[in-house]
Amino acid sequence: MTTTDDAAFAVDKSGLVRRLRLFLPERCLLAEEEDLRPYECDGLTAYRELPLVVCLPETEAQVIDILRTCHQLAVPVVARGAGTGLSGGAMPHAQGVVLSLARFNKILRVDPLARLAVVQPGVRNLAVSEAAAPHGLYYAPDPSSQIACTLGGNVAENSGGVHCLKYGLTVHNVLRIRVVSIEGEVFEIGSEGPDAPGYDLLALLIGSEGMLGVVTEVTVKLVPKPELAQVVMASFNDVAKAGDAVAAIIAAGIIPAGLEMMDKPATAAVEPFVKAGYDLEAEAILLCEADGTPEEVADEIARVTAVLTQAGAGNIKVSGSEAERLRFWAGRKAAFPAVGRITPDYYCMDGTIPRKRLAEMLSAIVAMEKKYGLRCANVFHAGDGNLHPLIMYDTAQPGSWERAEAFGAEILELSVALGGSITGEHGVGVEKINQMCVQYTTPELDAFRRIKSAFDETGLLNPGKAVPSLHRCAEYGRMHVHHGDLKFPELERF
């Protein structure tokens, strides 16, 4: 079996181009270096690779032909949506084809009675909610990249967003997908009903990072827009207190529509950019949204305010209008680009930890800033315990990226040690592949490899991503024994 990152490929580019030209029109195939360059990375720009070619199919029949051809010629295939991914999932393979779904951008059906929409995978996340809005409905998972990222990418990464705490991740909001296998066979998984017979392959395919099949159609749930939504913004003079307040809200039995946290470096970066009205004196702010009927919202806001006060919040402000609510969120949603304005480069991490350990993680990050000599701003999907430390670095400075990478790896490994996970929503991709060796045991990784093999025996779909080879884990295990201290000694080594 040749799967994942131990596979070697040697592809004859001109032979491949000749075969693809048999069924792809000129406008659907890019093979010159200047045309390939825009596809060399996704949102994780530190990792880059030029593909051999980029295919931009317009029909499912073309997707099938591309995959069949790649299968016959043993050519790796990397599916691509908008390229906003933050783990290098859509980074090309040097011997491979990038299969862009950008032209699959049609909303095929909005059914307000069944409360669902059927869309092509290249449709932007926000466009689904815009199409559903006239019916008083929307698509709940809302990554901060929603103006650009696509449903195909959301399915492949099981993306989350501010509203996922209450309404669930992509996996909870997708009813059915249509997929083309590497052999060019089409299959549909899921149904419009609440359950389907057999194994839950839909949950398996969602979050599979383009490694099991190429999605060509997605059926999503739509939910009614709440009558009212309001945001409570609370300031804390201590990040640990803010972290504890998050755990206290959930412990009080409240599931807010959104519960986000930003530390002082993050609000300082955001405020001049968005003018969201954040308290710049606070060490951390929490944004907590209540939605529902006006009575439900009033009740939840009263309960949240009581918990926040008890937890030591200073200023507490409730959005007084829809414009103000959107402004509070605009700051949080623009946190990444805002940090991008104050540093030449930043590296966004994505670990998840139990909520009650947020304060411990934050103190550890402060110590890591000193250790690596780099600044870090923190934004969190706090209700989910999902961290997004934004490590600031400068590629122009020798060693700066290496320090940022080591800083990031330490955060991820600490996430595991605190009882959490190396990823909350951005996927593993190429970025966290080493930390998969820390998160999982050999038998668990072997099970992943066998699942991959069941869908893609020759390992052509997105090789080198998400599931590490045992060889890689052995190498990584060796690299991480410092001063004779074996990290995580309870984990099996190979």
Which residues are near ligand FAD by CB under 6 A? 42-43, 78-86, 89-90, 101, 121, 143-145, 149-150, 152-154, 156-157, 159-161, 209-210, 214-215, 336, 425-426, 462
**Amino acid present at 396:** A
**Least CB distance to ligand FAD at residue 258 (A):** 11
Closest approach, Cβ 320 to ligand FAD, in A, equals: 26
* Nearer to ligand FAD among residue 51 and residue 143 (C-beta): 143
Q: State which residue, 415 or 477, has the beta carbon closest to ligand FAD.
A: 415
The three-class DSSP label of residue 389 is: strand
The closest residue (CB) to ligand FAD is 153
In whole angstroms, the minimum distance from the beta carbon of 114 to ligand FAD comes to 23
Cβ neighbours of 321 (radius 10 Å)? 9
- Is 51 or 243 the residue whose CB approaches ligand FAD more closely? 51
Looking at the Cβ atoms of 143 and 184, the one nearer to ligand FAD is: 143
Contacts 24+ apart (CB under 8 A), 364-373: 364/411, 364/414, 365/389, 365/411, 368/407, 368/410, 368/411, 371/407, 372/403, 372/404, 372/406, 372/407, 373/403
Residue 193 C-beta: closest distance to ligand FAD, Å: 24
Using the CB atoms, write b or e for 393-414: b if 16+ within 10 Å: beeeeeebbebbbebbbbbbbb
Min CB(315)–ligand FAD separation in Å: 26
Smallest distance, ligand FAD to C-beta of residue 418, A: 21
Q: How far is the CB of 371 from ligand FAD (least distance, A)?
A: 27
On the CB side of 387, CA atoms within 13 Å amount to 35
Spatial distance between the Cα atoms of 74 and 64, rounded to a whole number of angstroms: 15
Judged by beta carbon, residue 307 or residue 386, the one nearer ligand FAD is 386
Q: Are 246 and 232 in contact (CB under 8 A)?
A: no
- What burial class does residue 340 get, using C-beta atoms within 10 Å of its C-beta: 0-12 exposed, 13-18 middle, 19+ buried? middle
* For ligand FAD, the closer CB: 148 or 298: 148
State which residue, 129 or 154, has the beta carbon closest to ligand FAD. Answer: 154
The CB-of-432 to ligand FAD minimum distance in angstroms stands at: 13
Q: Which helix (H) or strand (E) holds 482?
A: strand 481-482
Question: For residues 165 and 215, which CB has a smaller minimum distance to ligand FAD in the complex?
Answer: 215
Tokens linked to 39: 């596809």
Phi, psi torsion values for 438, nearest 5 degrees: -85, -35
- H/E stretch holding 211 reads none
